[in-house]
Amino acid sequence: MLVRAPQRLPFGIVLASFLAYLPLECLAQGSPNSADHSALADRMKDAAQWPMPARDYANTRYSDLDQINTTNASQLQLAWTFSVGVDRGQEAAPIIVDGTMYVVGPYAGPYPNRVFALDATTGELKWSYAPRPEPAAAGVACCDVVNRGLAFDNDKVFLNTLDNHTVAIDANTGKEVWHTKLGEINRGETITMAPVVAKGKVLVGNSGGEMGVRGWLTALDENTGAIVWRAYSTGPDKDVLIGDDFKPFYENLRGKDLGVKTWPADRWQVGGGTVWGWISYDPELNLLYYGTANPSPWNANQRSGDNLWSTTIFARDADTGRAKWAYQVNPHDLFDHDEINENVLVDLQVNGATRKVLIHPGRNGYMYVIDRTTGEVLSADAFDFINAYKGVDLKTGKIIPNDEMTPVLGKTIDNVCPSAPGAKDWQPTAWSPRTKLLYVPHQHLCMNFKASEVGYIAATPFVGADVDMYAGPGGYRGEFMAWDPVAKKKVWEIHEKFPVWTGTLVTAGDVAFYGTMDRLFKAVDAKTGNVLWQFRAGSGFIGQPVSYRGSDGQQYIAILSGVGGWPGVVANAEVDPRVRNSALGFTGATQDLPFYTAGGSELLVFKLPRANTAADHPSSGSNSQGNNNAAPR
Amino acid sequence: MRHLANAAALTAILALVLAQPGAAQPAAPDELRVCADPNNLPFSNSAKEGFEDKVADLLAQKLGKRLSYVWWAQRRGFVRHTLNAGQCELVMGVPVGYGHLETTVPYYRSTYVFVSRQARHLDLASIMDERLRTLTIGVHLIGDDGNNPPPAHALGARGIVDNVRGYPIYGDYREPNPPARLIEAVESGEIDVAAAWGPLGGYFAKNSKVPLTVTPIKDGDKFAPQVFKFDIAMGVRKGDDQLRDQLNALISQNHEEITTLLRAYGVPLVEIQHTAAGN
């Protein structure tokens, strides 16, 4: 039995919160079960809050606050800081609900995946919660210790732990409400993604494809933790939750049990297709959208076929989990090009008509605009240099492989672009309804691919793929750019020395924020890309910036500093930087990172000086929800 | 406040779960610290029943040092979290040329093997054998594209796909010796033949209730740069030349004793194949 104890519990807060807690709980149960009118959806309309890592169901990461703007952003200053205590990769987005910030640390140190509740204005610690890890053997989850953030709904904070537990924590007291074990770390399964709550369900997906894990997305009842449905990414239709109402746009995706038939023999049973990225939700269509990871752990020559439903974007009914449509981005993936990247839901003018679309910045380097009601690809244009593919056929929806770049046993293939992490990995984009631009942090890397590196796992020697990554054309390794999805082109771009591994944020003040691995947090003019301000932090950035309004009326910007993740492991985990292909090839691409940064664990919160904000009009956005757990201090 | 008993239990578990790199202490002068997998026979386990444990014991005796262990599953990040984090000085088995550390001279050379039930009289020795098109063959799965064992590559290159079954090398770590599931599948008749790394195949075949035949795969050269035979050495941290030189001397001085020990574990040694089987 797991025991998870809050670390600190000031009595006053408990009492005040308890009193505020009861009526809301009753209210929530009595309210109609419509996402349009859910408390969480209302929070998304309230610019003071940032209630989920992607900010809203559409995954816009757009803040309606405009106190910080292009003329005053240069005066941003540190308001307060906080350490999450563990110097490993900090990928989590803080979330802000009713004046409280909730943040989670990586799965490392004495308190892995520890959760902190802070006063979002003053930084005062309200409580912390430390999950008790499973007594798994050391080393079974060797590589990825990041956590991408928490979720919130109805007075509960939801945490995914690396050892496969989803935990509901009382947002007011830090006490555990329930926890459910969803996977088995001893079989290589882990969870790193941020949960998303929609229609009273907590949505969670797994990681660990390389270890022989079969991918899934699971929905849990937010009140009890009971599993409502689970949709696998491979296997027979009944496991994938495909039925008669499944209407994929493209012919090749129609047919029975394609999750079995597009694999040799029983390969799908350990077929990968994990779900470790982002989930968006359209309340009107009642559809969830997410992408699945690459097929694994088989060699490409041992998994002939399209390997459905790996690297696939799914649209699913939020109540039942049943698939409505699907689109496979990279059939028979050869390059580890997961398509777990976010799907940003916007309405766009396409050929003179307004279309409900999702924008999917592909790991393969193409910016997909897909009709989110039908799954039709409306456009797919290269946003980075690509030679691994020759484009996307809009008639068939199929990507066109470049046969010259196909990895073959014993053949060395030079200069494949984009490299294994793709043109863009997990780091999420932001959409501004003001500029109608998508702000895209991404990497710019190519690779050489050959079989020659001696590997040794569980005392079994093998000759593995030697993937050596390096800067793409132009000599830079990362880029932050603005993309116009209607004109299908870049509007401006900023080149960075290292892969830009942070998420981004754009505001009604027309300011976009992102961080660099060489320790700079930057504010740029969303219209021009001019850098307005930058802050040199203690460690490199791979986190997600967020914005909210404090109880003092000021606009705040927050992000975690602390380099790590796939490209940053060289700087924080003592990989030998002289070996270009350790950490699955990324070390070569970031070999010089230790000259710029070491690990870190600092939450940084910025605001404008008081004098500067007094003259400004109050920011837009209102709290339509009212206080629920405010516990006035 | 956390209950004290609770805190103590938590601390104990955490000490097991999260050995922290960076908190490493230097070894005492009379201590030989080995980093090893606690659950991977025939190589090593926490009861010190593996042949690597026995060889380590022999080395410690010769060096006049006390042997101690740091246990860590041997997966991606093993060397990074253990040897290169300063938790120990020695890893007992790595292929020569393994890039993350410095290797000694090899102390054995083994080969990938076919393991089948003796009663089947398959006598497989060639990866080009046409019977492999119809037999059910088990292989280990290690990782994404390219990072799989040589027989998996070779069979794929021959177009032998549908009758191949995969066993993740990681298996379920709650069970003893997870990679052994591949050999157990031969025992149970789930598969006709396993293409496995020799020491694992040899040991579990030797200890099987059902009589099994182990035959080295003789003609892997056709699939270069894949190789089917590997020299296995010990590993020390880069720059730890003093320990490496000591170990090199001990390996050559105790060659016979080490070889006898390996034979007792059923490790197919490549030299033995050449002389005994006459291939």
pLDDT in tens, A255-268: 999 999 999 988 99
Domains B25-108+230-277 and B109-223 share a fold: yes
* Pairwise CB contact (< 8 Å): A298 & B148: yes
Q: What is the pLDDT of residue A351?
A: 87
* Structural domain boundaries in chain B: 25-108+230-277, 109-223
Percent over 90 (pLDDT), chain A:
74
ipTM of the complex: 0.89
Alpha-carbon distances of A26 from A21, A23, A92, A154, A272, rounded to whole Å: 9, 5, 31, 10, 42
Exposed, middle or buried: residue A83 (CB in 10 Å: 0-12, 13-18, 19+)?
A: middle
For the segment(s) B109-223, the CATH number from 1.10.1380.10, 3.40.190.10, 1.10.3210.10, 3.40.50.920 is 3.40.190.10
Q: Are A549 and A555 in contact (CB under 8 A)?
A: yes
- pLDDT tens column, B41-75: 999 999 999 999 999 999 999 999 999 999 999 99
* Pairwise CB contact (< 8 Å): A132 & B10: yes
Q: What is the pLDDT of residue A367?
A: 98
Interface test with A, best of B41, B91, B107, B144 (most A CBs within 10 A): B144
Q: What is the pLDDT of residue B278?
A: 31
3-state secondary structure of A468: strand
Q: How many CB atoms lie within 10 A of CB A475?
A: 10
3-state secondary structure of B4: helix
Q: Cα torsion at A151, A157, A158, A163 (round to 10°)?
A: 120
* Pairwise CB contact (< 8 Å): A336 & B227: no
Residue of A87, A144, A155, A336 with catalytic role: A336
A294 counts as catalytic: yes
Among A303-307, B17-21, B252-256, the minimum mean pLDDT is found in B17-21
Q: How many helices (H) and strands (E) does chain A have?
A: 7, 38
The total number of residues written for chain A in this structure = 633
| A23: closest CA of chain B, how far (Å) | 28
Residue reference for tokens 């601390």: B11
Q: Quote the radius of gyration of chain B (alpha carbons, Å).
A: 20
Handedness of CA B151, B156, B160, B162 (dihedral sign): positive
* Pairwise CB contact (< 8 Å): A142 & B148: no
* Pairwise CB contact (< 8 Å): B75 & A7: no
Q: What is the pLDDT of residue A593?
A: 86
Residue A140 has pLDDT above 60, yes or no: yes
Among A29-38, A126-135, A434-443, B150-159, the minimum mean pLDDT is found in A29-38
Q: List domains and CATH numbers for chain A.
A: 11-614 (2.140.10.10)
| B276: closest CA of chain A, how far (Å) | 24
Chain B residues with CB-CB distance to A463 below 8 A? 150, 225-227
d(CA A623, CA A200) in angstroms, rounded, equals 21
Of A578 and A490, the structure prediction assigns the larger pLDDT to A490
Residue type, B172: D
- Under the banding of pLDDT at 50, 70 and 90, the label for residue B97 is confident
φ and ψ at residue A341, rounded to 5 degrees: -60, 160
DSSP state of A484: E
Residues 11-70 of B with CB under 8 A from A: 13-14, 16-22, 37-40, 43-44
The answer for residues whose C-beta is within 8 angstroms of residue A213's C-beta and 6 or more apart is A183, A187, A188, A189, A206, A207, A270, A272, A274
d(CA B111, CA B51) in angstroms, rounded, equals 17
Residue A144 has pLDDT above 50, yes or no: yes
Chain B residues with CB-CB distance to A455 below 8 A? 142-143, 147
Percent over 70 (pLDDT), chain A:
86
d(CA A271, CA A332) in angstroms, rounded, equals 11
Q: What is the pLDDT of residue A626?
A: 34
| Peptide bond connecting A6 to the previous residue in cis, omega within 30 degrees of 0 | no
What is the pairing mode between strands A413-416 and A445-457? Answer: antiparallel
Alpha-carbon distances of B242 from A562, B28, B66, B88, B237, rounded to whole Å: 37, 16, 18, 15, 11
* Pairwise CB contact (< 8 Å): B224 & A410: yes
Q: What is the pLDDT of residue B199?
A: 98
Among A175-184, A503-512, B3-12, the minimum mean pLDDT is found in B3-12
d(CA A90, CA A385) in angstroms, rounded, equals 28
d(CA B103, CA A208) in angstroms, rounded, equals 30
- Under the banding of pLDDT at 50, 70 and 90, the label for residue B180 is very high
The CATH code of the domain at B25-108+230-277 is: 3.40.190.10
Residues 179-238 of B with CB under 8 A from A: 179, 197, 199-200, 223-227, 230, 232, 238
3-state secondary structure of A149: strand
DSSP state of A210: G
| pTM of the predicted model as reported, rounded to 2 decimal places | 0.89
- Farthest-apart Cα atoms in chain B, separation: 72
Out of B146, B169, B238, name the one closest to residue A299 (CB): B146
Of A523 and A11, the structure prediction assigns the larger pLDDT to A523
- Under the banding of pLDDT at 50, 70 and 90, the label for residue A631 is very low
- pLDDT tens column, A8-45: 333 333 333 333 333 333 333 333 344 445 899 999 99
Q: What is the pLDDT of residue B11?
A: 36
* Pairwise CB contact (< 8 Å): B162 & A264: yes
Q: What is the pLDDT of residue A569?
A: 60
